[in-house]
Amino acid sequence: MNRFLDDDHVRAFSDPGPGAPMTPTELGEHAAHLVWETYSDFMNSEALRSLVASLGIRTVDGVPEERPAKELLIFHLWAHTRSIQLALGERGEAAAILRLALDELHRAVFEDLEAAGYPSVRLPLFEQRVGARYAEYYAAAEEADEKVGQAVLGHLLPQGPGIEGDAEEGAAAFSGNGQRDTGVEATILTHRAIEIARPFRDYLEQVVLKS
């Protein structure tokens, strides 16, 4: 179970298998499925339970409240987005093809959110938050892998910068005083980004895109 979709409603997609041709739209659909699959896995993982307990993030039925859950979803969405950009970019795929795949990925995830009950009137603000986080995570990744974990962690803590009153929401979702070394927690998130990226990029290297 995760904060937005339960396991029975994770976006389904029939994987054509390694090396089988697929359109950019089909790749985006498949990537959306993987976002939800990896997000659900993490929300049920020991790593997440350790993170929640260490940071004092409040939970409902063992799942983080909506604000940190949204931040973790954005993190998983970014990890897949960056993997597509790097893998297809290194292959020299046309920018238009890359854009089609990424547009479909995000459209599908936002559509799934709305279908799961996320208010449609709040989606534009969520998309704005996605853009802001992406800019920060890309900048962090340019410096070093471990900077990504630190950047994500900053939005799980109450003092993390954000929009839509994130600091106030964060304070309600964090029971500690924030005055502690969070290096271990940042490392958990950095490792998570690597766990997502490596197998997905291996998969992408075998993808044959068709018109």
Exposure class string for 89-114: b at 16+ Cβ within 10 A, else e: eeeebeeebbebbbebbbebbbebbe
Q: What is the mean pLDDT of the chain?
A: 84
User: Is the per-residue pLDDT at 144 higher than 70?
Assistant: yes
User: Would you list the domain boundaries of the chain?
Assistant: 18-209
Q: What is the pLDDT of residue 29?
A: 95
Q: What is the amino acid identity at position 89?
A: G
Q: What's the Cα-to-Cα distance from 66 to each of 9, 58, 63, rounded to whole Å?
A: 18, 10, 9
pLDDT bin (cut points 50, 70, 90) of residue 166 is very low
Distance CA 159, CA 170 (A): 7
User: Is the per-residue pLDDT at 74 higher than 90?
Assistant: yes
For residue 167, give both structure tokens.
Answer: 């600091």
pLDDT bin (cut points 50, 70, 90) of residue 80 is very high
More confident residue, 41 or 174: 41
Give the pLDDT mean for 40-47: 94
Give the pLDDT mean for 121-143: 97
8 A C-beta contact, residue 64 and residue 3: yes
Q: What is the pLDDT of residue 167?
A: 39
Give the pLDDT mean for 202-211: 88
Which alpha helices (H) appear in 44-182, and where do they start and end? 46-55, 66-91, 95-115, 123-143, 145-156, 166-172
Q: What is the pLDDT of residue 87?
A: 93
> Which of helix, strand or coil describes residue 106?
helix
User: Is the per-residue pLDDT at 204 higher than 60?
Assistant: yes
The 8-class DSSP code of residue 7 comes to G
Q: What is the pLDDT of residue 62?
A: 81
Percent of the chain with pLDDT over 70: 80
Angle at 27 between CA 12 and CA 39, to 5 degrees: 50
- pTM, entire model: 0.84
pLDDT bin (cut points 50, 70, 90) of residue 4 is low
Q: State the burial class of residue 9 (Cβ atoms within 10 Å of its Cβ: 0-12, 13-18, 19+).
A: middle
pLDDT bin (cut points 50, 70, 90) of residue 91 is confident
Instruction: Write the CB contacts of 74 (distance below 8 Å, at least 6 apart in sequence).
Output: 129, 130, 133
Instruction: Identify the CA nearest to 26 among candidates 111, 127, 108, 113.
Output: 108
